[in-house]
Chain A
């Protein structure tokens, strides 16, 4: 419908020479990389490195100061693209006074899902994050991990072609973290392009490719293997330090 990509090909993201300034502060500086269709791309970097700012540009809710962000062949930000992108922000962003079901209903209707299909999809995503039993509970009674999972369920609700997750597994127990990663891999195999940010190094290993962000600059891009090999180290953490050291 929109853009050039089809379900089989999947959609890519091209970020070209992007700067983002807030006032005089340069938060992102000459960011240039590509997320290939249907891959899981990880953005790795400490807090304050500009991950969230970069992610918002790709989610189409912010505009770069200079440079372009192209998603599925369409230059962002574009209102009609928002329905094709699933975005989960760092904060859980849920209406605490509502039940999980009511939250899902609200966002599902914003994405134009209705009727039987909506009910089925809500059950599907809640099963995925193991929250089916807590569907009717108020979000204010949820634990931190449950809120994170519900937040993830909402981001996947409308079967987005591109899923952007800002720190998706913070506060989630290891068993569930594994099952969420399995789900992400399944989705990527069926053509969904996934972009995750993380500062957990072992999670970075699970991504197909990684971008390392430090102080608003992209210091390295490649597969976890390539990044380790090119710096002659055995862990991603060491690779990050090595790349950081080169520039710093």
Chain B
């Protein structure tokens, strides 16, 4: 009987906490849906550029599962490669194909090499087959998957921990009543938000330096760009996480409810941040990645760490992150109205 009473009580508690209830039901469905969409995507169809390739070879290539684009010169093909409109290009040098791969994603590299191999075997059955000469624009044959998704993980950890820690500490401010006391002083609402951003910003800079140092020097992650750019990305990413965390914390009443934002806010971002190949997803899903801060952070991270790009190449990503932060800051200031009307 006592067990029954306990069961009834727990059920009632759930029914009174609609949010926890919804989370238990909706979040697993959401995540499973995302996972299935991500892993059931079509196999990647490499985009290969061709420069002066004999018609016979082009016809043969077209039979593989690739999309071909013809370029007039190696220069224009290289340009396309740099902007990532194609994944590799083939030109003809000394009577044999020369392949240049974009190279920053090992799984794409493998897909292209496999296609070329099949083509080579099919076109000349003898051992004198056309052996392509292969070079990489970025990355190398030795590049591991970790080098590829490592930068994303750095961004992810910066984002995740700041989100949680800042969110919970702001929540505690509310639940212990110190926020009430804070708003009874002449402090302005934006000052509270700015104080949080500055305080945590300083802390996360230290955190970013530590993570970057550990990944590059200890774990030997590929690092071709400048450290200062990496730190800049991490800082902006954490400010976005901080402002989002503190904003969302005003919709949570306990630490536990704050945790409930993880599957809703953090997990989807992981799927769309480039850990998995976004190009194989449905188009409308790809569009989702555009509203996720981690997508921009990860893109900039990869550009700096793998492709060794400089500030001018990541400035767009940084601007988007900054815009996200500003929007969340304004929302923070507005929600603080709940606690003081001036």
In the assembled complex, which residues on chain A have CB atoms less than 8 Å from the CB atom of B182? 110
Q: Which of these, B180, B181, B186, B339, contacts A79 with CB under 8 Å? A: B186
Closest to A154 in B: B181
22 contacts between A and B (CB under 8 A): A60-B184, A61-B180, A61-B339, A61-B341, A62-B340, A62-B341, A77-B340, A77-B342, A79-B186, A79-B342, A87-B184, A89-B184, A91-B177, A92-B177, A93-B177, A93-B181, A94-B176, A94-B178, A95-B178, A96-B176, A107-B181, A110-B182
Closest to A84 in B: B186
Q: Which of these, B177, B185, B186, B342, contacts A89 with CB under 8 Å? A: B177
Chain B CB within 8 A of A63 CB: yes
In the assembled complex, which residues on chain A have CB atoms less than 8 Å from the CB atom of B188? 79
What residues of chain A have their CB less than 8 Å away from a CB belonging to chain B?
59-63, 77-80, 82-83, 85, 87, 89-96, 107, 110-112, 154
Q: How far is the CA of A89 from the CA of B182 in the complex (A)?
A: 11
Chain A CB within 8 A of B187 CB: yes
Using a CB-CB cutoff of 8 Å, which residues 248-302 of chain B contact chain A?
A: none
Are B186's CB and A82's CB within 8 A?
yes
Are B176's CB and A89's CB within 8 A?
no
Q: Which of these, B176, B178, B183, contacts A61 with CB under 8 Å? A: B183
Q: How far is the CA of A111 from the CA of B339 in the complex (A)?
A: 19
In the assembled complex, which residues on chain A have CB atoms less than 8 Å from the CB atom of B186? 79-80, 82-83, 110-112
Given A92-B177, A93-B176, decide whether A77 and B341 contact each other with a Cβ distance below 8 A. Answer: yes
What secondary structure prevails in chain A residues at the interface with B?
loop
Q: How far is the CA of A59 from the CA of B180 in the complex (A)?
A: 11
Q: Which of these, A78, A83, A91, contacts B185 with CB under 8 Å? A: A83
Using a CB-CB cutoff of 8 Å, which residues 17-70 of chain B contact chain A?
A: none
Q: How far is the CA of A111 from the CA of B186 in the complex (A)?
A: 7
**Nearest 4 pairs of A and B residues by beta carbon:** A93-B177, A91-B177, A63-B341, A87-B184
Closest to B181 in A: A93
Closest to B184 in A: A87
Are B187's CB and A91's CB within 8 A?
no
Q: How far is the CA of A177 from the CA of B222 in the complex (A)?
A: 67
In the assembled complex, which residues on chain A have CB atoms less than 8 Å from the CB atom of B177? 89-93
Are A61's CB and B187's CB within 8 A?
no
Closest to B189 in A: A79
Q: Which of these, B176, B184, B187, B342, contacts A78 with CB under 8 Å? A: B342
Shortest distance in angstroms between B171's beta carbon and chain A's nearest beta carbon?
A: 14
Closest to A157 in B: B185
Given A80-B186, A107-B185, decide whether A60 and B178 contact each other with a Cβ distance below 8 A. Answer: no
Q: How far is the CA of A63 from the CA of B342 in the complex (A)?
A: 9
Shortest distance in angstroms between A104's beta carbon and chain B's nearest beta carbon?
A: 12
Are B341's CB and A110's CB within 8 A?
no
Q: How far is the CA of A215 from the CA of B292 in the complex (A)?
A: 48
Are B181's CB and A60's CB within 8 A?
no
Q: How far is the CA of A162 from the CA of B182 in the complex (A)?
A: 17
Q: How far is the CA of A143 from the CA of B10 in the complex (A)?
A: 33
In the assembled complex, which residues on chain B have CB atoms less than 8 Å from the CB atom of A82? 184-186
Q: How far is the CA of A77 from the CA of B186 in the complex (A)?
A: 11
Q: How far is the CA of A194 from the CA of B176 in the complex (A)?
A: 25
In the assembled complex, which residues on chain B have CB atoms less than 8 Å from the CB atom of A107? 181, 185
Shortest distance in angstroms between B196's beta carbon and chain A's nearest beta carbon?
A: 14
Shortest distance in angstroms between A113's beta carbon and chain B's nearest beta carbon?
A: 11
Closest to B175 in A: A91
Closest to A78 in B: B342
In the assembled complex, which residues on chain B have CB atoms less than 8 Å from the CB atom of A85? 184
In the assembled complex, which residues on chain A have CB atoms less than 8 Å from the CB atom of B342? 60, 77-79
Sample of 10 further A-B pairs with CB below 8 A, known A89-B181, A90-B177: A61-B341, A62-B341, A80-B186, A82-B186, A91-B180, A93-B177, A93-B178, A93-B181, A110-B182, A112-B186
Q: How far is the CA of A82 from the CA of B188 in the complex (A)?
A: 11
Q: How far is the CA of A109 from the CA of B39 in the complex (A)?
A: 55
Closest to B340 in A: A61
Shortest distance in angstroms between A114's beta carbon and chain B's nearest beta carbon?
A: 14
Q: How far is the CA of A61 from the CA of B187 in the complex (A)?
A: 12
Shortest distance in angstroms between A110's beta carbon and chain B's nearest beta carbon?
A: 4
Q: How far is the CA of A107 from the CA of B181 in the complex (A)?
A: 9
Q: How far is the CA of A95 from the CA of B182 in the complex (A)?
A: 11
In the assembled complex, which residues on chain A have CB atoms less than 8 Å from the CB atom of B178? 93-95
In the assembled complex, which residues on chain B have CB atoms less than 8 Å from the CB atom of A111? 185-186
Q: How far is the CA of A154 from the CA of B181 in the complex (A)?
A: 10
In the assembled complex, which residues on chain A have CB atoms less than 8 Å from the CB atom of B339? 61
In the assembled complex, which residues on chain B have CB atoms less than 8 Å from the CB atom of A92? 177
Shortest distance in angstroms between A223's beta carbon and chain B's nearest beta carbon?
A: 29
In the assembled complex, which residues on chain B have CB atoms less than 8 Å from the CB atom of A90? 177
Given A61-B184, A79-B188, A82-B186, decide whether A91 and B341 contact each other with a Cβ distance below 8 A. Answer: no
Q: How far is the CA of A96 from the CA of B177 in the complex (A)?
A: 12
In the assembled complex, which residues on chain B have CB atoms less than 8 Å from the CB atom of A96? 176
Q: Which of B176, B178, B185, B339 has the most CB of A within 10 A?
A: B185
